[in-house]
Copies of this chain bind each other. A is one copy, B any other.
Amino acid sequence: MTPHLARRTADIQPFHVMELLRRARELEAQGRDIIHMEVGEPDFATPQPMIDAATRFLAGGDVHYTAALGLPQLREAIARFYHERFGADVAPERIIVTPGASGALMLALAATTDPGDEWLLPDPGYPSNRHLVRSFEGVPRALPVGAATRYQPTPDQVADAWTARTRGLIVASPSNPTGTLLDQAELAALRATVIARQGTLIVDEIYQGLTYGVEASTVLKSMDDVFVVNSFSKYFGMTGWRLGWLVAPQAYVREIEKLAQHFFISPSTPAQHAALAAFAPATIEILEARRNEFALRRDTLLPALRELGFVVAAEPQGAFYIYADIARLADDSEALAHRLIEEAGVAATPGLDFGDNQPRRHLRIAYTNRCERLLEAAERIARMRG
């Protein structure tokens, strides 16, 4: 049987790292010890207060659909969090609870993108963005970004790349794969550039809260005409629960509600009840301790990698990734990733997953492991080269 595939499928790439992960699992099945530094999720468990909240809720057994936009009390809790933690005033009505930031991105793109509309996407960047744009028949346009601008696009670059078909710009702060930030002034300048062109700005704040040496912040402090994507996945340690949110400009909410009804019916009910405990002081205390631990890991791994010959020109200030130039070590990051896994038992993600901008020269290394393991990984890599 020849499948009758939609044309979009030809443009959609898998996560290449999955191949590597498969190989890692094979080696583990053979008894090899693999240090996982390829994974895009915290190694921590979901904080106990959230587990407890979900367990208490489940004991009742009534796990029904909620409103498509999410439980009103969760939307209010998120609004309170914006106010208390960041001093940002966001009406609960503008907060749409979604199945992860993934669901939030889908809704924002489906609501705004006509066939042929172009979105500007920094490259390297989170791979799903370009595939979601393509899925709704938009056209992803890469903005190559490098260490000189801390892997973030500049207003001039956006202005130069803008065409009559450009619909908007997606940025992430902190960014995946580079861990670099945009400050409020940079965000304001990007917004001005986009808005002046009647475009739409989407700011992905999924790694909000995971910043080191810099206070966490939100673009919502000063802007209410941008889309903000967020999630309980990363800072809150809830990847597997599939829960995130979208903050939409008020004028879009009703349209997005319709899409949410048909795409998802509603977000996961147990996850929403767990998330109601996400902002409790006891939870935040756990999360802030983890944040300190991540900072320590970054400060442990970064010098160790530099010692090995990896070049990290733009210091990562957030998320849990180091995006390293491997030119001094190898020609091709994919081949290097395979050598690392076979010879050193270390898994990392080749640049290929993040775009077309010198992907073979870069590797993303996640510090989602205890410091001892990070140092052991560095030692194993050192031995491999010798």
Contact between chains at B127 and A262 (CB < 8 Å): yes
In this assembly, does A111 line the interface, its C-beta being within 8 Å of a C-beta of chain B? yes
- Taken together as a complex, chains A and B put the C-alpha atoms of A239 and B64 apart, in Å, by 5
Known contacts A45-B60, A262-B127; A240 and B65 CB within 8 A of each other: yes
- With both beta carbons as reference points, the residue of chain B lying nearest to A58 in the complex is identified as B51
Cβ–Cβ < 8 Å partners of A258 in chain B: 9, 12-14, 131
Which of B6, B128, B198, B268 contacts A242 (CB under 8 A)?
A: B268
- Please give me the residue from chain B that is nearest to A248 by CB atom: B3
Q: Which residue of B lies closest to A237 (CB)?
A: B63
Q: How far is the CA of A298 from the CA of B118 in the complex (A)?
A: 52
CA A252 to CA B9, docked complex, whole Å: 10
With A51-B59, A239-B64, A241-B269 given, is the CB distance from A262 to B102 under 8 Å? yes
B268 touches A240 (CB 8 A): yes
A215 to B27, CA, bound (A): 46
Is the CB–CB distance between A238 and B63 below 8 Å? yes
Q: Which B residues lie within 8 Å of A128 (CB)? A: 261-262
Residues of A within 8 A of B (CB): 1-9, 12-15, 18, 41, 45-46, 48, 51, 54-55, 58-66, 68, 99-100, 102-103, 106, 110-115, 117, 127-128, 131-132, 135-137, 167, 198, 200, 225, 238-242, 249-252, 255, 257-259, 261-271
CA of A65 to CA of B36, assembled, Å: 14
Complex CA gap A261/B21 in Å reads: 14
* Chain B residues closer than 8 Å to A68, beta-carbon distance: 18
A270 interface neighbour in B54, B59, B262, Cβ under 8 Å: B54
A32 nearest CB across to chain B (Å): 20
| Residues of chain B within 8 A of A13, CB atoms compared | 258
* Alpha-carbon distance A271/B9, docked complex (angstroms): 28
Among B62, B65, B115, B257, the residue within 8 A (CB) of A137 is B115
Which chain B residues lie closer than 8 Å to A65 at the CB level?
Answer: 41, 239-240
Cβ-defined contact, A6 with B60, below 8 A = no
Q: How far is the CA of A200 from the CA of B7 in the complex (A)?
A: 16
Known contacts A3-B251, A45-B61, A135 near B261 by CB under 8 Å: no
Q: State in angstroms the CA–CA spacing of A167 and B12 once bound together.
A: 21
Q: In the complex, A207→B235 CA distance in Å?
A: 38
Smallest CB gap from A106: residue in B? B263
Cβ–Cβ contact A5 & B239, under 8 A: no
Q: Does A257 contact B66, Cβ atoms closer than 8 Å? A: no
Report whether A1 and B251 are in contact in the complex, using a CB–CB cutoff of 8 Å: yes
B48 and A64: CB pair below 8 A? no
- Is B8 in contact with A110, judged by CB distance below 8 angstroms? yes
Distance of A351 Cα from B198 Cα, bound (Å): 40
Give every chain B residue within 8 A of A64 (Cβ-Cβ).
41, 239-240
Q: Contact at A46–B61, with CB atoms within 8 Å?
A: yes
- In the complex the two chains form, what is the Cα distance from A64 to B42 in whole Å? 9
Between-chain CB contacts (< 8 Å), 22 pairs: A1-B251, A5-B112, A6-B117, A12-B258, A15-B261, A45-B60, A46-B58, A58-B58, A64-B239, A99-B99, A99-B268, A102-B263, A131-B259, A132-B263, A135-B259, A135-B262, A240-B266, A241-B268, A241-B269, A242-B242, A268-B268, A270-B270
Verify B41–A6 contact, CB threshold 8 A: no
Residues of B within 8 A of A60 (CB): 45
**Which residues of chain B are near A113, meaning CB under 8 Å?**
6
User: B8, B51, B66, B264: which contacts A99 (Cβ < 8 A)?
Assistant: B264
Report chain B residues within 8 Å CB of A268: 99, 240-242, 268, 270-271
Whether the pair B63, A3 counts as a contact (CB closer than 8 A) is no
